[in-house]
Structures are given as C-alpha cells and as structure tokens.
Amino acid sequence: MAGLSDEVDFHGGLFTARPHQHIANINKTDLVVVPSLNHNYEQAIEANGELIDWLGSQYRNGACVASVCTGAYLLAAAGLLDGKSCSTHWSAADKLKQLYPKINLQTDQTITDEQGIYTNGGAYSFLNLILYLVEKYYDRETAIFCAKVFQIDMDRQSQSAFIIFKGQRLHSDELIKKAQTVLEDKLEEKLSIEDLASRFAIGRRNFDRRFIKATGNTPAEYAQRVRVEAAKRAFETSRKTINQVMYEVGYADLKAFREVFRKITGLSPLDYRNRYNRDLA
C-alpha cells in the first residue's frame, strides 16, 4: 500500500490506514489499484494533485492502472480516461461525465478494460474487478479458486439491474428540466416527443439536440428510463401483474415493454420481480 502520508484516519478515527511507503519511493510498478473516494469528488481531486501526477507518470512508464468505484475520478483527472471507455458507480456517473466529457462512460458495465486501464462499477462489485485482475495476471484456475473461497459470483458484467434512475439534472437548461418533469409526471399519458416539443414551442430537431446535450439521452430514451424505473418500483413493492404495471407506466404492447425493460435492466420483468419482491416467493 502506497500513499502520500504515513498515516490517514477515516470516519473520525474509526479506522486508520498506514501505507507501507510514500508514492515518491516507487519509480516503477506493474499495476496500480486506486481505491474509491468519499463523495466530495472535486475536493478529493484538489487534495490529491501529487497522486494524480504520479498515476499519469506510472501509466506512461508502462504500468497498468485499475480504479475501484469512484477512484475513476482520479484517473480522469490524470487524463488517463480521455477517449477511453470507463465505468464507475452508477450514482456517481452523471457528475463524472459532467466534469470529464471526453470520457466514453459505460455506466451499465461492471468492468471496463482498455489499453491497460481497468475501471469498475463500484460498491461490492470491486470483488469482481479483483477476480478479473487475478485471472488477467495469473490464470482462470486461480481466479475460480479465489471465487470459491470468498464465495463470489464470477463473470458478472453488468450493474444495470442495480441502477436507480433519478434523472440527469446536472445541467443548466431550464427548458429541458421542465420537459424532464413532464416526462416524469405523465407516465400514463401517450405523449409523443413531437407533442412535448410543441408544448415548449420548440422545433423537434432542436429539442432533441438540446435534450441530448443536457442529459446524454434522447427524449425517447429518457422516457423509457423513467417508465422502467417506475415499473421497477412497482415490481419491488406490490403484487401487481406484469400487465398491470405495464399499463400503469404507459406501455400497451407486452413485447415492447419486455424488450425495453431487459435492455435497461438486463433482466426480464418477471425475473426482476422474482428477484426483488420477497412477498411473491
């Protein structure tokens, strides 16, 4: 373990980390694993300039670099993720994209692997990243052994089923924010995107352009995500049938609903309900 100081206290001294040595003493290494940050991302970036510079120099010197969860912010600050695929915890993705728009953010992925840079979706899925690296640096047999000892499901590739969509509102386009509110409040209405654009007296093409710039999604994609999130909550908390939930969130075609639900969550509506609603067990 390497760091910038001899000792660091966390959570009011609840536990303490004591790095084995200062990063300045490490001239060359094969792999650097960056842990997750607290939620003060910009403060953490500002406080770790020396570490960020060191990460960049290690990568240029041939080291591979992996980040756990929000540790991706330090990789991004070092410029290591520009033009590359990257994952982070779904709750931190919008802020990361806002700060570093050159990143090809893959929010649904548990692990990305590109040009010696590994990133991870976060939380306990860091265990999947560690298994991935064990297999990469040792072999499949060793990774399987570790998975069995620590009882970790191997080869989990998506964090889609865990994402809670809260809407992308880290932007300053007030018209688009109003449009987002309409989409979120009128789930059951068959509101076309053309009608929505007309409601705000804006042309469809310009509306789409502004919506994508502000949220990263087209209006249609945003509406899908809002409806699927409402469906997920219904499956988690009620005994309603698939058809009942489908109609409540604005779908009339069961096949289309299933396809959109699986595309966004990685699970079918039935599988999702069976996984998260214990009252149906």
DSSP secondary structure of the chain: -EESSS-EEETTTTEEE--SEEGGG----SEEEE----S-HHHHHHHTHHHHHHHHHHHHTT-EEEE-GGGHHHHHHTTTTTTSEE---GGGHHHHHHH-TTSEE-TTBSEEEETTEEEE--GGGHHHHHHHHHHHHS-HHHHHHHHHHHT--TT--B-GGG--------S--HHHHHHHHHHHH-TTS---HHHHHHHTT--HHHHHHHHHHHHSS-HHHHHHHHHHHHHHHHHHH----HHHHHHHTT---HHHHHHHHHHHHSS-HHHHHHHH-GGG-
> For the chain, which residues score pLDDT lower than 50?
none
CA distances to 36, 169, 182, 225 from 268, rounded to whole Å, are: 31, 28, 27, 15
How many CB atoms are closer than 10 A to CB 109?
Answer: 19
CA atoms within 13 A on the CB side of 112: 23
pLDDT at position 53: 96
pLDDT at position 10: 84
Taking each helix axis from N to C end, the angle separating 219-237 and 174-185, rounded to the nearest 10 degrees, works out to 40
pLDDT at position 187: 82
CA distances to 105, 190, 203, 257, 271 from 252, rounded to whole Å, are: 32, 10, 28, 8, 20
256 contacts: CB under 8 Å, gap ≥ 6:
none
Residue 183 in contact with residue 196, Cβ under 8 Å? yes
Residue 68 in contact with residue 31, Cβ under 8 Å? no
How many CB atoms are closer than 10 A to CB 51?
Answer: 20
pLDDT at position 280: 67
pLDDT at position 13: 86
pLDDT at position 281: 56
Considering the entire predicted model, what is its pTM? Answer: 0.85
Taking each helix axis from N to C end, the angle separating 219-237 and 254-265, rounded to the nearest 10 degrees, works out to 90
* Residue bearing tokens 């809407």: 167
Pick from 222, 210, 220: which is nearest to 175 by CA?
210
